[in-house]
Amino acid sequence: MGQYGKGTPVWRIKALKKREECEDKLPKEWVIPKTLWETLPLPLEENKVNLIDLDIIRRSNVLTEREFEITENHTVVSLLEGLSTGKFTALDVTTAFCKRAAVAGQLTNCITETLFDSALARAKELDLMRENGQLKGPLHGLPISVKDCLQIAGTQATIGFTAYLDQPPSEENSCLVDMLLDLGAVLYVKTNVPQTLMTADSENIIFGRTLNPWNTMLTAGGSSGGEGALIALRGSPLGIGTDVAGSIRIPALCCGLYGFKPSASRIPDSKQQGYGTGGLRTIYGSVGPIANDMDALEILSRAVLGASPRPALYDPGVLDIPWREIGEVKPRLRFGFLLEDPTFPLHPPVRATLEEAASRLKDAGHEIIPLPVEECHLAYALEVVWKFFSLDDSASEVVAQGREPPIASRAVVAKLVQELGSRFVPGFEGMAPLDRLSILNIKRGEIIKYWHTLWQKYDLDAVICPPAPNTAVEHDMYGLTPYTSFLNLVDYPACVIPFRRAGKFPDVKRQEVQFVPDYNGSSLEGAPCSIQVFTRRLRDEECLAISKVVDGCLHGAQAP
């Protein structure tokens, strides 16, 4: 321990050792040259640096021109076509994305575990299969990144806790990992998360803070923030995140990506690394894809849900509902338009983005039906969500067990939750634990009924709304998640679609009765904007199909 300095806390020594171990796995020829770092204002998290516009991956000189072309100029569709026909070898594609991920990880702290050697070995095996006239599955040879909480045998899943550094590497895969391998995917990196998984800032003591490639002063989102940063830098063509309050959709909106939260238990989610009290499942999370294009979301969902053996044979907890073919979407859709809630007012670029999206949908012949704020119950739902989360304090206990300090964003969230109070669930604090759980389940049932009535009353096909009141904001300032977490509460599938970038608007300070971050125009100008589309529970296929229609209205034939 002496090399770390006298008095260095044990938690810091453990974290530093883990980082050194990860750095040692990086091939020396994949390390960003010192001369490139010298051109950047450091530390990056305190400076407004657009790594994408700087073309930083090319400037690193780590990738060959061929590898740059593979990672930069292809969608998941074209990669899979090339892999199946022999235009690309799995080894070439895997090498390209391993190298690009290595560079992205050095720049943004988006990577936790690397599996480069095993990924390259698997790619060679898949190439041999193809040469013999066989494909492993619909994802043959496609590199896929996964969030740190997914278990991959032989690697750790610390999920940002120094206490978990004492655990041995996983002995088995998560159910979805087994499925992805059987479908032909190549798994090569795991990605960063926040301490406790319960903030929108993917920072932890072990791997540091994940930075937003569009503006390194801003959060990359959470809790799947490592996926967001990696995919935005095209270090992964397709990533797997998890979502219990917006953890797929928030990184997607922060990093200008597409993200899909399925209904709970459609895609296998068993055998993840967790920390909660066993048996206390209050709000069911989802596992889903994040990508640079809409088609990739459907490709992943269709491949998993349409797999043989079917998902229920991998994961006993999954709903045994295979992929449904729904045919063509009707030409004239009825969209509910979730109006701005004054408790969660929209930042100016978010409001402008939502209004432009509604206008384009109208121009395409679709109907837009404004939904009154009082019928949507966002504030009610947010309070219920956070009271559900408060039933289990296991995360804080694991942090205390490791004797590590809490990250700053947790204090911001805790303060805002306290300010929410008990307007809709009065007297909650004095109740016994089982009584609290009972009351919250009753309240959730009320909100589900409200939304059931709303769908019927307005005869809606889908609803569009913002994913958040804000774009990505300064580190630690994201706060609460009203426009995403209520969809977890009622268990609706939802898709985030990138659309436009934030323009220049005057600053806006939040009022005392509001639960949004301040809007600082100079810091947030240029941040990616997006919209959210959702449908009713278990209508995942409809959600993806309608989202594809919306994406076409917003972007035409052009990708964002």
Residues 6+ apart with CB under 8 A from 296: 75, 76, 77, 237, 238, 258, 289
| pLDDT (tens digit per residue) in 99-119 | 999 999 999 999 999 999 999
Helix (H) or strand (E) holding 147: strand 143-147
Whether the per-residue pLDDT at 559 is higher than 70: the answer is: no
Q: What is the mean pLDDT of residues 179-204?
A: 97
Residue 279 predicted with pLDDT over 90: no
What average pLDDT does the chain have?
96
Say whether 286 counts as a known binding-site residue. Answer: no
> pLDDT digit string (tens) for 504-520?
999 999 888 899 999 99
* 246 appears as a binding residue in the annotation: yes
In this predicted structure, which of 132-136, 208-212, 307-311, 420-424 has the lowest mean pLDDT?
Answer: 420-424
**Residue 244 labeled ligand binder:** yes
Q: pLDDT tier at 278 (50, 70, 90 boundaries)?
A: low
- Does residue 14 carry a catalytic annotation? no
Structure confidence at residue 275 (pLDDT):
80
Per-residue pLDDT averaged across 348-354, rounded? 97
- Over residues 37-82, the pLDDT tens digits come to 999 999 999 999 999 999 999 999 999 999 999 999 999 999 999 9
Give the H or E element holding residue 240: strand 238-243
Domains and their CATH numbers in the chain: 15-313 (3.90.1300.10), 334-555 (3.90.1300.10)
The reported pLDDT for the residue numbered 513 is 80
Establish whether 245 is an annotated binding residue.
Answer: yes
- In the set 223, 224, 265, 409, the catalytic residue is 223
Do residues 334 and 369 make contact, with C-beta atoms less than 8 angstroms apart?
Answer: yes
Phi-psi region of 533 (alpha: psi -120 to 50; beta: other; left: phi over 0): beta
Query: Would you say residue 550 has pLDDT above 50?
Result: yes
Catalytic residue among 60, 174, 202, 247: 247
Q: Confirm whether residue 247 is marked as ligand binding.
A: yes
Strand-pair category, 286-291 with 208-209: unpaired
Out of 14, 99, 136, 147, pick the active-site residue.
147
Residue 560: predicted pLDDT: 39
**Would the pLDDT of 557 be above 60?**
no
Q: According to the model, what pLDDT value does residue 277 have?
A: 65
Rounded Cα distance, 318 and 354, in Å: 34
* Residue 375 region by backbone torsions, left for phi larger than 0, else alpha for psi between -120 and 50, else beta: alpha
Residue 186 known to bind ligand: no
Selection from 328, 323, 326 nearest residue 303 by Cα = 323
147 carries an active-site annotation: yes
Token pair for 21: 């171990």
Question: Any catalytic annotation for residue 247?
Answer: yes
Rounded to the nearest 5 degrees, what angle is found at the Cα of 122, between the Cα atoms of 179 and 307?
20
Flag whether pLDDT at 356 surpasses 60: yes
